[in-house]
Structure 1
């Protein structure tokens, strides 16, 4: 923490207030007004917090076990500027595909992928999910063949017929996608820092304000 105070050149009081604004998810422009700081100063600190959080999320990653939900989502504008045509959602658009894994009542992991083919998704699942886990997905062809690579407890949901049947659903990861898209909407799209915002959303998901503040202070203190 002492190194951060020296780097930031802010008083301890102002730095703590800035951390609180970040945990409250107050945009940089509003935090600058509230704390009477330069917008660039706030942006610089917010970016540092996000980089530390991203490194923390990756360092804490361990194999997912138990009941695990996997799903893909797409981020970006519904239509690119200068390209005529109807607004589209999901596959077949120019949006950025992102793959997500959710451990029931637990952690979330996201990864930006070039596409949602089996070639892209299978290696991530094999590296992040224990083969003994129950893996729940929809019926997208990118999940074809998971049983053949060791996931013999792969259960698929046909959304054309039903979104859930008892505990067979992927509502957890879909709730995370909804949370993430609502949160990012207020930033009017994030391009350069999109990977950092994804990791921040993992960190924020299902956490209370006191937990977030304690976690961020711990992350900052452990930073060399």
Structure 2
């Protein structure tokens, strides 16, 4: 007989077990460890973790456009080094474009390439034209004012290694660089992610970063109560 569960459509676990698992998920405990702590089957834990990550991805889409002071940057995720290949996106690395609103939130998006056309199209869909954009000197960011944005400041991280560019007049990309550091450090604990799993883990990381000062457990519990997690084929 299935348990009655307000948070999990057709779930076969009790609400108490679900809340216990959700608390561990909110604390960023891995699915393997959570299964041990709750006594739930490993496959059940993995399935619910996946549904929670999908819910985070849905919630992460709220809140556009970005306004005010906005930082942009691109980064690459994947193997630390591929023999015989160097430079941006070398080897099997996945390019990710990031937008951060200072004092607010971040948006990250996997891209096929970091061309000017690709990144400008994303900015037009995510950033208000009156925003002030700050970036490094990557050529793909040239021409943003001509593309309709009010102000665009550039920094050159490599101009003078003895001079801290991040301290001058607020022209820096500290925020988005901080997110890249957080994301790569967090993803390391999963010992590598398959290509088909990386997108959902990336959006989960974005949502956790954006809610780092909030109670993630309460946010997700409320969301699941209002709209129960659904994946009938799993139960």
Report the equivalent of 1:202: 206
Q: How does 1:142-181 map to 2 (within 5 A)?
A: 142-161=140-159, 162-164=164-166, 165-181=168-184
Deviation digits for residues 128-178 of structure 1 (CA, Å, limit 9, x no counterpart): 111111100000011011111112310001111254123110000110111
Cα contact 1:98–1:110 (8 A) shared by 2:
yes
TM-score by length of 2: 0.87
Cα contact 2:5–2:15 (8 A) shared by 1:
no
Determine which structure has the larger helix proportion and give its number: 1
Cα contact 2:136–2:157 (8 A) shared by 1:
yes
TM-score by length of 1: 0.91
User: What is the SS of the residue equivalent to 2:100?
Assistant: strand
CA displacement at 1:187 relative to structure 2: 0.6
User: What is the SS of the residue equivalent to 2:40?
Assistant: coil
Q: Which moved more, 1:44-53 or 1:192-201?
A: 192-201
* Partner of residue 98 from structure 1, selected from 96, 105, 109: 96
Paired with 2:148 and 2:37, the residues of 1 have a C-alpha distance of 54
Q: How does 1:1-224 map to 2 (within 5 A)?
A: 2-5=5-8, 7-58=10-61, 60-79=62-81, 84-85=83-84, 88=86, 90-161=88-159, 162-164=164-166, 165-191=168-194, 192-205=196-209, 207-208=211-212, 211-223=215-227
Cα contact 1:24–1:209 (8 A) shared by 2:
no
Cα contact 1:68–1:136 (8 A) shared by 2:
yes
User: What is the SS of the residue equivalent to 2:58?
Assistant: helix
Structure 1 residue ranges, 4+ long, deviating more than 6 angstroms after superposition: none
Cα contact 2:134–2:171 (8 A) shared by 1:
yes
- Structure 2 unmatched ranges of 5 or more: 229-235
Paired with 2:130 and 2:213, the residues of 1 have a C-alpha distance of 34
- Give aligned pairs, total: 219
Paired with 2:226 and 2:72, the residues of 1 have a C-alpha distance of 31
- Structure 1 unmatched ranges of 5 or more: none
Paired with 1:112 and 1:210, the residues of 2 have a C-alpha distance of 26
Deviation digits for residues 178-215 of structure 1 (CA, Å, limit 9, x no counterpart): 10111110011222221111111111115358611111
User: What is the SS of the residue equivalent to 1:217?
Assistant: helix
